């Protein structure tokens, strides 16, 4: 059985990707999956070598056959996005709803697939990696996340791996729902700010709704001890396991500037030791 662990956060900037990269380096025996398709950056630290690239066709776009178009203007009248401008379609404005094709009396408009992003199959120094990039302004991020996960599972089977580590996107929207559905464990990374606390509670509620076992990491916990205590109290009252607390340390920034994971940059540092202990508890939780 292939297990999936997702590292997610209620808001951006909590250190989720840094921790995901560290876990990948510590394990070295899994498939890595970057499901933050709207703003992927795990590749900056892992520097994958792309083996295969696939086009992701998440939406359609209208196209007018100018030989059949009589320029009656009905499509322009019904298009709420101001994209239909017979005998042409503004491809930037078109949202692919298909209304113009439906109302065209001459059947001069058809909906054709367009590339909305790219899906990558890569190799890293820590193992295989499945990742993707959604093009600016494109939708269907949840659908692309699903494709990333499907590819991860195929790669795990082909490489004899029984664990997939997912770096998810922040928030509780469509791409996060597509990320956590059916996973075995969700590791929520938060920070001791009121916004971090608020958004952590929202993502924990989402994971609870999908019956996903959860753990919480408080990053930069020493920047506000009072808020850290509030988060710990909330976790205790709601039966959420506190996986660990990570102090603020400039070595984390230095490792990112060097484009290296923490275990590579400072193998003997107390932060690395703490992350190793956390990862050990993660793998134990997944195997139970």
Note down the domain range covering 276: 3-54+121-287
Domain end position, chosen among 114, 133, 151: 114
Do 257 and 217 fall within a single domain? yes
Do 192 and 254 fall within a single domain? yes
Whether 31 and 161 have beta carbons less than 8 Å apart is answered as yes
How far is it, in rounded angstroms, from Cα 93 to Cα 64? 15
Tens-digit pLDDT profile for residues 103-160: 999 999 999 998 999 999 999 999 999 999 999 888 789 999 999 999 999 999 999 9
pLDDT confidence of residue 58 = 83
Do 92 and 206 fall within a single domain? no
E-only strand ranges, the chain: 3-9, 31-34, 49-56, 59-64, 84-85, 88-89, 109-114, 117-124, 127-134, 163-170, 185-190, 213-219, 241-246
Tens-digit pLDDT profile for residues 1-14: 899 999 999 999 99
Do 175 and 101 fall within a single domain? no
Do 135 and 50 fall within a single domain? yes
CATH number, domain at 92?
3.30.70.20
> Which element (helix H / strand E) includes 230?
helix 225-237
Q: What is the mean pLDDT of residues 167-185?
A: 95
Do 74 and 197 fall within a single domain? no
Q: How many CB atoms lie within 10 A of CB 281?
A: 14
pTM: 0.90
pLDDT confidence of residue 1 = 84
pLDDT confidence of residue 271 = 96
Chain mean pLDDT for the chain: 95
Tens-digit pLDDT profile for residues 43-63: 999 999 999 999 999 889 999
Do 50 and 72 fall within a single domain? no
pLDDT confidence of residue 59 = 85
Closest listed residue to residue 169, CA positions, set 51, 14, 3: 14
Do 142 and 189 fall within a single domain? yes
Give the 3-state secondary structure of residue 240.
coil
CATH number, domain at 125?
3.40.50.300
Domain end position, chosen among 99, 114, 129: 114
Rounded percentage of the chain residues whose pLDDT exceeds 90 = 92
Alpha carbons within 13 A on the beta-carbon side of 130: 23
Tens-digit pLDDT profile for residues 218-249: 999 999 999 999 999 999 999 999 999 999 99
Binned at pLDDT 50, 70 and 90, residue 203 comes out as very high
Do 170 and 232 fall within a single domain? yes
Query: Which DSSP category does 162 fall into?
Result: -
Do 108 and 240 fall within a single domain? no
pLDDT of 288 higher than 80: no
Do 43 and 85 fall within a single domain? no
Do 34 and 174 fall within a single domain? yes
Tens-digit pLDDT profile for residues 256-282: 999 999 999 999 999 999 999 999 999
Choice between 195 and 287, residue whose per-residue pLDDT is larger: 195
Tally of domains in the chain: 2
- Output phi, psi for 221, to 5 deg: -60, -30
Domain end position, chosen among 72, 95, 114: 114
């Amino acid at each position: 059985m292939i297990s999936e662990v997702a590292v997610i956060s209620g808001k951006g900037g909590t250190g989720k990707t840094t921790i995901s990269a560290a876990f990948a380096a510590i394990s070295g025996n899994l498939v890595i999956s970057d499901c933050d398709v709207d703003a992927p950056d795990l590749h900056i630290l892992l520097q994958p070598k792309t083996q295969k690239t696939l086009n992701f066709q998440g939406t359609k776009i209208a196209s007018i056959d100018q030989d059949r178009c009589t320029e009656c203007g009905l499509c322009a009248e019904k298009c709420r996005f101001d994209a239909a401008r017979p005998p042409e379609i503004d491809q930037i404005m078109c949202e692919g709803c298909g209304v113009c094709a439906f109302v065209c009396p001459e059947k001069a408009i058809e909906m054709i697939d367009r590339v909305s992003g790219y899906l990558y199959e890569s190799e890293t120094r820590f193992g295989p990696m499945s990742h993707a990039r959604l093009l600016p302004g494109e939708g269907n991020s949840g659908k692309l996340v699903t494709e990333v996960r499907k590819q991860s599972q195929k790669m795990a089977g082909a490489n004899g791996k029984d664990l997939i580590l997912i770096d998810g996107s922040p928030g509780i929207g469509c791409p996060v729902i597509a990320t956590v559905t059916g996973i075995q464990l969700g590791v929520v990374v938060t920070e001791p700010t009121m916004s971090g606390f608020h958004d952590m509670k929202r993502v924990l509620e989402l994971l609870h709704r999908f019956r996903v076992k959860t753990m919480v990491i408080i990053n930069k916990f020493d920047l506000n001890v009072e808020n850290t205590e509030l988060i710990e109290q909330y976790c205790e009252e709601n039966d959420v396991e506190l996986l660990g607390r990570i102090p603020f340390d400039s070595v984390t920034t230095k490792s990112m500037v060097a484009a290296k994971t923490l275990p590579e940059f400072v193998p003997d540092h107390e932060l690395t030791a703490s992350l190793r202990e956390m990862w050990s508890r993660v793998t134990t939780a997944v195997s139970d």
